[in-house]
Structure 1
Amino acid sequence: MSSYEPRHDELHVAIIGAGLAGIAAALELKKQLGFERFTIYEKEDSVGGVWRDNTYPGCGSDVPAHWYSLSSELNPDWPSYYVSQPEIRAYWERVYNKHALAAHTSFHTEVVRAEWDETRQLYHITLEDTRSKEQRIVDANVLWWAAGGFHAPFFPEDVPGVKDFKGDVWHSARWNHNVDLRGKSVGVIGNGCSGAQFIPRISEDPTVQVTNFVRSPQWFVPRPQFVYPAAVKSIFRHIPGIMRAYRAWIYWKSELSFLTFNDTDNFMHRAATKLLTEYIRMTAPEEYLDKLIPAFPPGCKRIIVDPDYLKSLHRPNVDLNWTPIDSVCEEGLKLTTGEVVPLDVIIFATGFSLLPSRLQISGRSGETLHEFFDSIGGPSAYLGLAVPHFPNFYMLLGPNTAGGHASVIFNEEVQIDHAIQLMRPVLRGKAAAFEVKESVFTRYNAWLQKRLVKSVWAHCRSYYRGRTEDGRNYAIFPGPVSLFWWLARKARFSDYEAIGAEKFERERRAKRWTRRIGAAVLALSVVLAYRSGWRLPMLVRMARSLTSFA
C-alpha cells in the first residue's frame, strides 16, 4: 500500500500511529487545512489501535457509542447504547476508508527515533520496517504523537516466573484464540475493566473453571444496555439535529457524573456511594461482600460499568482468590501462603504501560522526552499536548488528559483543534516552529496537580498514579471535559515561543490594528449618528459594513 513520502525541502507532517487519534488527526489536517503532505506511520498491518489489538471475549467500550465517536462523523447505525470491539473497529475503518487515508499510511513501520534539527527546524525521524528490520530516515516539520494512552501490555513486576509455566499464558490485550478453554482450569490475574468483561463470557461454559486472583476490590455501576430500534435509527439518519442533540444529552449526563464523584465531601458523592454499595450487595454472592466493597471512595479508580461480572460470581465454576501471588510456577500460581493453585491457562488482565518504551524523541537540547519526564518527576505536558524544548511536537491523549467519566475522543478532538491552530502558520510557510514556554508549562501543571491532590483520585492506588499509593497522577484531567475544552479551545500564541515567525507576527499585528481601527471607526460613527439624529436602519447598515471590514 503506497503512502505519501516527503521530497527534499517539502513541508511534511509525521503522525505516529493509525489508531483512533491518528485517524482523527489526519482527518482534520485534510478538512481544516486542506493539507495532504502527511504520513501516518503504523507498526502493525492495519488500523484501529487498541480496538484492533484487544479481541478478548466480551471486549467493548464502557462509554456510550454515540459519544465514543467523532463529532464530525456521527453514526446513526450504532446498534445499541454500548457497542462491542468489532463494531467500534468497523466504524473507524469506515472513517479511514471514507477519507482515503490509505494513501497516506505506511504500515509495518515503527518510529524508533526522532531528533530535532535546530538549524533546519525539523525532525529527522528514524523508521524501521517491523518485518525486515531495515531502517530509513525521513524529515518532518511537525511530529504528531497519536499512539494513544495504552501501549504494551503491562505485566506486574511482583509476579515473576511467567516463563516457568508449562501451560498457556497470555495477556488479555493479546488474546490467544487458538487455545480452547473447554475443560480447563483458567487463572485470571486482575479484575479491572478487561477482566470484568471477559470473565462472564468465558465462564458461560460450565466446564471452564475460572479463578480470579484479585489484589483489590472495584466499584461497579449497572450497565443500562439497550438496542436501538430501526425507527430510532431512521430518525437519527433523516431528521437533522436529533442525533446531535441525543449525543449532547449523553455528554451532559456524563458531566453530571463528574460532579458526583470528584468531591468526596458532598451529598451527591455520599448518596452515590450508598447506591453503589447497595448494588454490589444485591448483585454479588454474600460470601464475597466483605471484600468486594471497596474502602476507597467511588471514582478513585475507573468505575466499572458492570458487564454481569458480579452475577457471574454466583456460578459454581467461578471463584475469587484474594491471597497475594508470590510467583508463577510450572503447575500454576504460587501464593504467598505457599499454596500452589494448579492451572492449565493463566491470563493477565493487568492493563497497559502508558508510555512506549522504545520510542526516543530528542528536543532542542538533545535531551529525550523520557529523560525530560524523569527530570521533572514524571510525564507532564501543557494541555496534555505540548512540552517545552520540543518544538512542533504534539501529543494526543498525553499526560493528564483522560477523564474517568468521559469519552477520550472528545478530549482528543479538542487537542487536535488546538494543535491545528499552531500548525497552520507553519504549514503555510509563515513560521518555522512553535514551542510552549516553560513558565506556562510549569504554571499549568502546578495548577493541575493542586486540583488533583484535593480530588477523589488521591485516595487509592491506581494506574492513574503509576500503580502506587502516593505517586503523582499523570493520567487524569481534574475537571469536567467542558473545562478542558474551555482551556484548550483557542491557542494563545503568547503561551508559545514563535521561531522564524516574523511573517506570522507581522500579519497578527496587522490584524490587531485592523480590528482596533474598525472598532474606533464604528464607535465614532455611533457618536456621529446619535448627534446627527440618523435613523436606526442606516446605523445598522453602517455597522455591518464596518464589521465586515474589520
Structure 2
Amino acid sequence: MPLNEDQPRVAIIGAGLAGIATAIALKRQLGFENFVIYEQAGDIGGTWRDTTYPGCGSDVSGHWYSLSTDLNPNWTTFHVRQPEILAYWKSLVEKYALLPHITFNTRVQSGEWDASSHAYMLILKDVKSGEERVERAEVLVSALGAFLKPRYPYVKGRETFEGVSFHTAQWRHDVDLKGKRVGVIGNGCSAAQLIPQIAKDPSVEVINICRTPSWFVPGGHYVYPKWIKWTFANVPFVLRQYRNFVAARYDIGYLVFRANLKWLSNLARKRLASYLKYKAPQKYWDKLVPDYPVGCKRVIVDPGYLKSMNQPNVTLNFDGTGEIVSDGLVTTKGEKIPVDVIIYATGYDLLAAGIPMKGVGGVTLTEHFEKLGGPEAYLGTTFPNFPNYFALMGPNTHTGHASIVFIEESQINYIMQMIQPVLARKAKSFEVLPSASAKYNAKIQKTLASSVFTSCRSWYKMDGTGKNFAILPGPVFLYWWWMRRPVWNHYRAVGAKQWQKERLLSKLVRIAVGAGVAALGVAVARPESRGVILGLVSELKAFVVKVLA
C-alpha cells in the first residue's frame, strides 16, 4: 500500500510482535492508516517465525503473553508453544487487515533525520533483487526487538567441525537426530526446552555442555479443559479477571529480586534448591545449585529438563567448551567428547549492531551509546538527538519475571500519545531532553544497584560484567504507571505552537470549571458574595482570552 505523501507518514521497522502491535494501535487508537511496516523476511512473526526448535515456547503464560485488546480464550496450555503463538499473531494481522501495510523482503539499511523536512530519510533494500530506494517518514518506530543475531561461544575451531552444527535460532529441520550423538552447548532457556524433546528418542544420545548453573521454577504444564475455554469465551469479565490475576501473580514475584529483602531471597533459594534436588540426579546436585541469588540470571521455567537428566541417554558436563575439533569438542579440562551433531543453545547477542541511525547534527545512535558507556534511553523508548524516533524493547525494558508484550503495550500507548500531535499536523517533532534522559537512567542504575542483578555475570550486562543495559529494575506495573502519559516538559517541541495553545486551553478550562463549581457553591451558601464571585469569574475569562491571543 503506497503511503500518502500529503499526510504525515509512520514507518515501522519489523513485522514481529512489537511491529504488529504498533500497527494495531495506530488503527484502533488513532484511526490512522498512513503507515507502513518494513519487514526483511517474507512473513510476519519475527523471533516466533524463525525460532522453531522442538519444545520452543514462552515461559510466560499465554494469557499474559498476548495483547490486552485481543484476549484469546482458546490457549490450549498455561505456557504456550511456538506454533500456537505464531498462529495467534497471524490471526491479528488478518483481523486488522495489516497485510496491505507490510512491505516484505525489504531491509531498512539506514535512517537519517532531515531537520528541514522534519522527517527521516530511509534507505531501503529489496533483499531479493538488491535494488535500493529512498523513502521518507515523519515518525519512525523501531520494532526490531533484541533477538536479532544468534550468539556463538568464543571457542577455537568452530569451522573445523566436520559434522552438522547449527544454532537453536536457526533449527535444521532437515537433520535427523535419530541414532546420533548430539552435543548441546549451553544450558539456558532454549537448551532446557530442547533437550527433553530430542531425548524422548532413546537412540539420541545427548551430551549437554554447561558453563554456569541456573535457577529453575516448576513449569506450569496445565492444559485448559474445554469447559474453562468455553467460560473464558462466553462469560463476561471472567477472562479479563483471570488475565489480571495471572499478571499480578507474576509481578509480585519481583520482590524476590530486591537485594534488601534477604529473608525472601534466602527463602526462594532454599525452596528452589529443594526443587532441583527433588527432580535431578544426586550426582549433579553440587553443580546444578547456583551460588548466586535467584534472579541474577534469568530464572528458567522447568519444561522437564531436570527430570530428563535421569534418562540414560542424557549426560551433563560442567567443564565448558574449550575447543571444537573435526569430530567433536574438547572441554576446558581437556576431555574430548566425540559427537555427530553440535547444537548451539547459546542465546542472542543483545548488542548486535542494528540499523545505522543518524539524528540531529549527524550524531549516530552508536556514538550516543558509546558516549554513555552503553545503551540507554529515556523510559527505554526515546533518545536525545533523535526526534520522533521510538524504540520498542529498548534499553532496560527487559523483564526477568513478567511479560515483554505488556511492556511493549505500555510503550506503544505512550508512543500513540507522543505522535498524535504530529499526525494531526499540530506539531513537527518531539525530542527528549538530555537532562531528562540522564536523570531517568541515573534512577534506573541506582535501583539496579540495590537489586540481585549485580550479583553475577549475565547477558543483562555489557560483556557480561559491565553496565546493565537490559533489565528493568522493578515491577512492570510500575513501568506502566511511568508510561501512562508523557511528561511533556521533558521534551523539546518543534512547530507545536498550535498544539501547545490547545493544551493550555484544555488545562485552563479544567481549572475554570473547577473554580466555577466552587464559586457556585459559595454563592449558594453565601448570597451576599455573589457580586464578588461574578467579578472574579469575569477576570478569569479575560485572563484566558489574553493567554490565548
TM-score (norm 1): 0.94
Report what 2:239 is aligned to. 243
With 266-275 and 334-343 compared, the bigger mean Cα shift is at: 334-343
Q: CA–CA distance in 2 between the matches of 1:123 and 1:6?
A: 14
- The answer for the alignment partner of 2:538 in structure 1 is none
Structure-2 residue corresponding to 1:458 = 454
Q: How does 1:303-452 map to 2 (within 5 A)?
A: 303-452=299-448
Match for residue 206 of structure 2 among 202, 210, 213? 210
Secondary structure in 2 aligned to 1:463?
A: coil
Q: Does 1:523 align with 2:513?
A: no
1:234 alignment partner, one of 230, 233, 239: 230
Following TM superposition, by how much is the alpha carbon of 1:9 offset from its aligned partner in structure 2, in angstroms? 4.5
Q: Indicate how the Cα distance of structure 1 residues 523 and 264 shifts in structure 2: closer, same or farther if over 3 A, else same.
A: closer
Q: What is the 5 A alignment of 1:58-207?
A: 58-156=55-153, 158-207=154-203
Once the two structures are superposed, residues 24-74 of structure 1 have per-residue CA deviations (whole angstroms, 9 ceiling, x without a partner) of 000000111111000000111111111111100001111011111000000
State the match for 2:43 in structure 1: 46
Check conservation: 1:264, 1:297, Cα contact below 8 A. no
Which of 34, 39, 49 is the matching residue for 1:37?
34
Distance in 2 (CA, whole Å) between partners of 1:19 and 1:280 is: 35
Measure how far apart 1:7 and its partner are: 4.3
Question: Deviation string for 1:173-225 (max 9, x for gaps)?
Answer: 11001000011111111000000000111111111111111110000011131
Q: 441-450 or 75-84, which moves further after superposition?
A: 75-84
* Identical amino acids, percent of aligned pairs: 47
Tell me how far 1:357 sits from its aligned partner: 2.1
Q: What's the CA shift string for 1:403-455, capped at 9, x where partnerless?
A: 11100011100100111101000000000000111000000000000010110
Tell me by how many angstroms 1:258 deviates. Answer: 0.8
Distance 2:250 2:524 in 1: 50
Provide the residue aligned with 2:248 in structure 1. 252
Q: Structure 2: how far apart are the matches of 1:327 and 1:264?
A: 41
Q: Distance in 2 between matches of 1:529 and 1:70?
A: 50
Query: What SS does the aligned partner of 1:227 have?
Result: coil
Residues 373 and 82 of structure 1: is their aligned pair in 2 closer, same or farther, counting only changes over 3 Å? same
C-alpha contact (below 8 Å) 2:22/2:412 kept by paired residues: yes
2:221 aligned partner: 225
* 1:494 lines up with 2:497 in the alignment: no
Q: Deviations over 1:318-365 (max 9, x none)?
A: 111112322222111122333322111111111112245251011002
Q: Deviations over 1:274-320 (max 9, x none)?
A: 10000011111111100100000111111101011011111111111
Segment drifting more, 158-167 vs 457-466: 158-167
Shift of 1:503: 1.1
Please report how far the alpha carbon of residue 519 of structure 1 lies from its aligned counterpart in structure 2 after TM superposition.
1.8
In the aligned structure 1, how far is the partner of 2:354 from the partner of 2:245? 41
User: Partner of 1:504 in structure 2?
Assistant: 499
Q: Distance in 2 between matches of 1:7 and 1:23?
A: 20
Mapped to 2, the partners of 1:109 and 1:491 lie a distance apart of: 32
Matched, 1:5 2:2: yes
Q: Which runs of 5+ in 1 are unaligned?
A: 534-550
Give me the CA root mean square deviation: 1.5
Normalised to the residue count of structure 2, the TM-score between the two structures is: 0.94
Q: Could you tell me how far 1:163 is from its partner in structure 2?
A: 1.5
Other structure's SS at 1:188 match? strand
The residue identity in structure 2 corresponding to 1:501 is A
Q: CA deviation at 1:505?
A: 1.1
In 2, are the aligned partners of 1:6 and 1:138 still within 8 Å (CA)? Answer: no
Deviation at 1:518, TM superposition (A): 1.8
In 2, distance between residues paired with 1:509 and 1:381? 28
Q: Distance in 2 between matches of 1:117 and 1:58?
A: 46
Give the 3-state SS of the residue equivalent to 1:138 in structure 2: strand
The one-letter code of the counterpart of 1:27 is I
Is the contact made by 1:212 and 1:321 (CA closer than 8 Å) also made in structure 2? yes
SS at structure 2 position matched to 1:498: strand
Structure 2: distance between partners of 1:75 and 1:496: 37
**In 2, are the aligned partners of 1:262 and 1:299 still within 8 Å (CA)?**
no
